[in-house]
């Protein structure tokens, strides 16, 4: 039996991921401000065209660092076009993920996984890697779309988080999103 290929939003639809209507419904500043402080090192995994990446850079400020990671070079090029010639260019590092891993060795204070965990074929492996990338006490913020991810599927993701060593600190369900914040608890 052939394994089903996971859907990844193609570069051709990048415009639908970064527009005024979405900014009104999913305001990056409002979503990220509670979790990001100046000077932090943060990762936007599955960053797409950088809808959250640029706001992350503004929030970490000149002493911070943002890594924007995506499977598709075309999405990273969209971000490069936005930041070239700006002060954000110095704060944002673009990273192309491998097919089955993020492939970074840095440590992060916060990792954002927005509308992408449901696209990952092996969530357990992915979340174990995310755990290894977080600093002790670092936060993982997962936000998934209700229109793609059922309550049961989201519950399964939170169960995997617990098995990977995360402690869930909050869980919310909004009109269009399901959100979980988890902390890396292993202090060793």
Torsion of CA 55, 140, 168, 98, to 10 degrees: 140
Assign residue 145 the CATH number of its domain. Answer: 3.40.50.150
Predicted pLDDT at 177: 84
pLDDT at position 14 is: 47
Please determine, for residue 13, whether its predicted confidence score (pLDDT) is greater than 60.
no
Beta bridge partners of 179: 143, 172
* Average pLDDT of the residues of the chain: 87
Classify residue 86: in a domain, yes or no: yes
Say yes or no to pLDDT of 99 above 70.
Answer: yes
What is the spatial distance between Cα 83 and Cα 92, in angstroms, rounded to a whole number?
A: 8
Number of domains in the chain: 1
Q: Judge whether residue 164 has pLDDT over 70.
A: yes
User: Residue 110 pLDDT more than 80?
Assistant: yes
Rounded average pLDDT over 158-185: 90
How far apart, in whole angstroms, are the C-alpha atoms of residue 138 and residue 136?
5
Let me know if residue 110 belongs to a domain.
Answer: yes
The domain of 167 spans 38-184
- Residue 125 in any domain: the answer is yes
Tell whether 127 is covered by a domain. Answer: yes
The per-residue pLDDT for range 61-73, each reduced to its tens digit, is 999 999 999 998 9
The answer to the question of residue 120 being in a domain is: yes
pLDDT, residue 4, reads 39
Whether residue 65 is contained in a domain is answered as yes
pLDDT at 166 over 90: yes
pTM above 0.95, yes or no: no
């Amino acid at each position: 039996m052939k394994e089903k290929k996971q859907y990844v939003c193609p570069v051709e639809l990048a415009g639908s991921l970064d527009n005024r209507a979405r900014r009104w419904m999913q305001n990056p500043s409002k979503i990220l401000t509670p979790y990001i402080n100046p000077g932090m090192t943060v990762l936007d995994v599955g960053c797409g065209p950088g809808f959250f990446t640029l706001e992350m850079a503004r929030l970490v400020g000149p002493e911070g660092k943002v890594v924007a990671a995506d499977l598709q070079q075309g999405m990273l090029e969209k971000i490069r076009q936005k930041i070239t010639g700006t002060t954000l260019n110095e704060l944002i590092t673009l990273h192309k993920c491998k097919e089955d891993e993020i492939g970074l060795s840095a440590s992060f204070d916060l990792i954002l996984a927005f509308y992408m965990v449901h696209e990952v074929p092996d969530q357990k492996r992915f979340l174990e890697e995310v755990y290894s990338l977080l600093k002790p006490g670092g936060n993982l913020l997962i936000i998934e779309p209700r229109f793609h991810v059922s309550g049961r599927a989201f519950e399964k993701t939170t169960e995997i988080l617990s098995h990977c060593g995360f402690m869930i600190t909050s869980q919310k369900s909004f009109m269009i999103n399901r959100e979980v914040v988890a902390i890396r608890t292993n202090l060793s």
